[in-house]
Amino acid sequence: QQQVKQSPQSLIVQKGGISIINCAYENTAFDYFPWYQQFPGKGPALLIAIRPDVSEKKEGRFTISFNKSAKQFSLHIMDSQPGDSATYFCAASPNSGNTPLVFGKGTRLSVIA
Amino acid sequence: KAGVTQTPRYLIKTRGQQVTLSCSPISGHRSVSWYQQTPGQGLQFLFEYFSETQRNKGNFPGRFSGRQFSNSRSEMNVSTLELGDSALYLCASSPPPGWDDTQYFGPGTRLTVL
């Protein structure tokens, strides 16, 4: 199975709150899990990525939590800001990131003041 | 360092026509991948080229084709356009193995088929 399932489709969060987006996958060959951020009119840009050998990775306000046994991973955005309003995509690929990425359907995040 | 560039940014075509999209990867990147983005299907992998050879191919009909030149620039072609081909076509380039695993995306070409 190549699918990556992402939820929720859309999310509204108050400024300063925590945004949480979840993804689940089936293919146990996946070993690279990036999150991309996309603003209107732009291409996706890498936000943060994780490999299955760690359960959590933090970069600034962004944290990936990874649960290998459940085949799930999530993105947490702490202290969400209006500038974080964008569409977020989780993705997965086998054999490092230089192989085709399988993307989730995306989550449209709106951070309101 | 310049990012991935794609031309043109916008295209309007009619059914039955063909179209060619161009992508220039980041300098030093030899792998170029193409993705189709639509509201309904999201981001779907089309194909990947490395050193002028197609290395991976997604599940798209043969109307979708591509090529890569010796300078790593890539083109994709869609023949006999259908309404459902309307989408944002994204190109991504990847650095050589061992540098990092990131795929760097361009801004895309918005194709509208009327």
The span from the CA of B108 to the CA of A83, in Å, is 22
Contacts with A32 from chain B: Cβ below 8 Å: 101
3-state helix, strand, coil split of chain B in percent (to 5) is 5, 55, 45
Mean pLDDT score across all residues of chain B: 94
Q: Write down the pLDDT at residue A95.
A: 67
Residues in chain A where the model's pLDDT stays below 50: none
A97:B4 CB<8 A = no
Before B95, cis peptide (omega within 30)?
Answer: no
Measure Cα distances from A50 to A64, A74, B60 in Å: 7, 10, 29
Q: CB of B114 within 8 A of CB of B19?
A: no
Mean pLDDT over B31-54 rounds to 95
**Nearest-Cα residue of chain A relative to residue B101:** A97
Q: Write down the pLDDT at residue A99.
A: 77
Q: Write down the pLDDT at residue A47.
A: 95
Instruction: Enumerate chain A positions whose Cβ falls within 8 A of a Cβ in B.
Output: 32, 34, 36, 41-46, 49, 89, 91, 96-106
Q: CB of B90 within 8 Å of any CB in chain A?
A: yes
Q: Write down the pLDDT at residue A64.
A: 96
pLDDT band at B2 (very low <50, low <70, confident <90, very high): confident
Residue in A39, A47, A57, A98 to test binding to B, most B beta-carbons within 10 Å: A98
Question: For the segment B64-75, what is each residue's pLDDT rounded down to a tens digit?
Answer: 999 999 999 999
8-state DSSP, A84: G
A100:B45 CB<8 A = yes
Contacts of A12 (CB under 8 A, 6+ apart): A109, A110, A111, A112
Q: Write down the pLDDT at residue A97.
A: 53
The alpha carbon of B6 is separated from its chain's Cα centroid by a whole number of angstroms, namely: 9
Contacts with B44 from chain A: Cβ below 8 Å: 103
Contacts with A87 from chain B: Cβ below 8 Å: none
